[in-house]
Amino acid sequence: MNSTILVLNGPNLNMLGTRQPEIYGSETLDDIKNSCVKHGKNLDIDIDFYQSNHEGELVDWIQKARESYSGIIINAAAFTHTSIAILDALILSELPIIEVHLSNIHKRESFRYSSYVSKVAQGVICGFGSHGYILAVEAIARLINEQKEKI
């Protein structure tokens, strides 16, 4: 049976394609979703892909993930740098977590250097644009397989 993973996207990522393409690229979030789903299939991974501009909605999805998913890939966008609520929900999920950012957050304004999500993520992928999501799907597939082998 395929494992299912949750891919979560935070505020303003619904605007990809038009939002600062020099930083975030010209692909839309739908394009990214489609390539994640396609790539996941090759790795026997099913993907549920969501975006919200609302912190509480992201927290709700993370809370539910515990029962239904094998791992979480998250680009919490601006909430990365501010949200203890998202960090607490991620801790509670007890799932493997990969943090993704399209841009290299360490090369930008200093307020983007710190990440609450990093405190619980297994690994962080940033600066590779939309390809970072594919790298994250590969990384999480490997983590899930390693876990299955241990059982």
Residues with active-site annotation:
24, 101
Is residue 103 close enough to count as binding ligand DQA by CB under 6 A?
A: yes
- The correct pick among 3, 75, 83, 93 for binding ligand DQA (CB under 6 A) is 75
Is residue 53 close enough to count as binding ligand DQA by CB under 6 A?
A: no
Rg (CA), the chain: 14
Tokens of 35: 């390539």
| Whether 112 contacts 138, CB under 8 Å | no
Q: Is 16 helix (H, G, I), strand (E, B) or coil?
A: coil
* Nearer CB in complex with ligand DQA: 63/112: 112
Judged on CB neighbours under 10 Å (0-12, 13-18, 19+), 8 is: buried
Is residue 102 close enough to count as binding ligand DQA by CB under 6 A?
A: yes
* Nearer CB in complex with ligand DQA: 4/103: 103
Residues engaged in binding ligand DQA (CB under 6 A): 12, 75, 77-78, 80, 101-103, 105, 112
